[in-house]
Amino acid sequence: MTATAGRDRPSGTTARTVAQAKVNLFLRVLAREASGYHQLETLFCRLELGDDVVVRVGVDGRSLDCAGDVIPPEGLGPTQRNLAWRAAVAYADATGWPNDWAIEIAKRIPVGGGLGGGSADAGAVLRCLNRLAPSPLSDDALIALAAPLGADVPFLATRDPMALAWGRGERLLALPPLPERAITLVCFPFGVSTPDAYGWLDEIAPRPRAARLSVDALSTWVGVARVAHNDFEAAVAPRYREIERALEELRAHAVRVHDATSVTMLAGSGATVFSICDTGPQAMTAVHGMSLRLAHTRTASRVVAVEVSD
């Protein structure tokens, strides 16, 4: 397919960035809509860990090259199911540009663990295309374009390291970044089905009550630690002894090292468990011979900028 004359940048125009992972430091699942979707209230925090994303325009055809594990949703072919690909299609459909592109992704974010890897890639593609576009979209328009792709994508299409989000993730309030801290990720060789997690959560009545959020309280790690909460834990952890054990061990470790501002929770709907603690554990006890991997990174105080080259 040939690009429309005068619309694309010169051949070889390239944008690259890091699609940073995220954790939810607060996640409350609200009422289920008639459509089946649930409203959310959440506090997003980006991590330094991320996938490398490169987007080229002014090329012949459309392509996606992804190195590493990818778990696309059911229903379409492997490429068309990839969120990064769908983001590029959405941008092209909405703006009429570009006709063609080449996307390259080097995966580093653990897949299927609630860290937003696929959503981060989609957000990075949107940011890259908008940086290259002859007529870039406004920030609000880019968020609106990202919303149908998933509840995490709007935040991950912004340049904000922290934000509160409501609804389906499209209502965002950027917050000043907190000081960077060490974070340990406990990664399992399995994922948790998000639809299943929502179904299990709907079975819990009444749900545990979460603290009310105050923007002022989120200006320090002490304040975040006081309100840290994830509704999915009550539904998911009892069904996976491995997850339950990881939460117990990480919380016990924070007590042993006297870190009163530690935050240990399930990441999204799971299966990854994370602990923000200034002295992270170097080993964990596996359950029933289950293999698990510890990944060490930091929370992010900035979002990696999009770099452009010809």
- The structure tokens 């919303």 sit at 147
Q: Which of 200, 204, 181 is nearest to 192 (CA)?
A: 200
Question: Is the previous residue joined to 34 through a cis bond, with omega within 30 degrees of 0?
Answer: no
Q: Are 52 and 236 in contact (CB under 8 A)?
A: no
Written as six digits, the tokens of 217 are 């309280």
- The active-site residue, picked from 8, 22, 160, 231, is 22
Q: Are 174 and 162 in contact (CB under 8 A)?
A: yes
Q: Are 228 and 26 in contact (CB under 8 A)?
A: yes
Distance CA 10, CA 257 (A): 56
Q: Kindly give the pairing relationship between strand 101-106 and strand 162-167.
A: unpaired
Torsion of CA 66, 72, 77, 79, to 10 degrees: -20
- The structure tokens 């987007």 sit at 55
Written as six digits, the tokens of 214 are 């105050």
Sequence length of the chain is 310
Alpha helices in 135-240 (DSSP H): 139-146, 153-156, 194-203, 221-227, 232-236
- The active-site residue, picked from 100, 152, 160, 259, is 152
Active site (annotated) includes residue 22: yes
Active site (annotated) includes residue 107: no
Distance CA 19, CA 120 (A): 5
Residues involved in catalysis = 22, 152
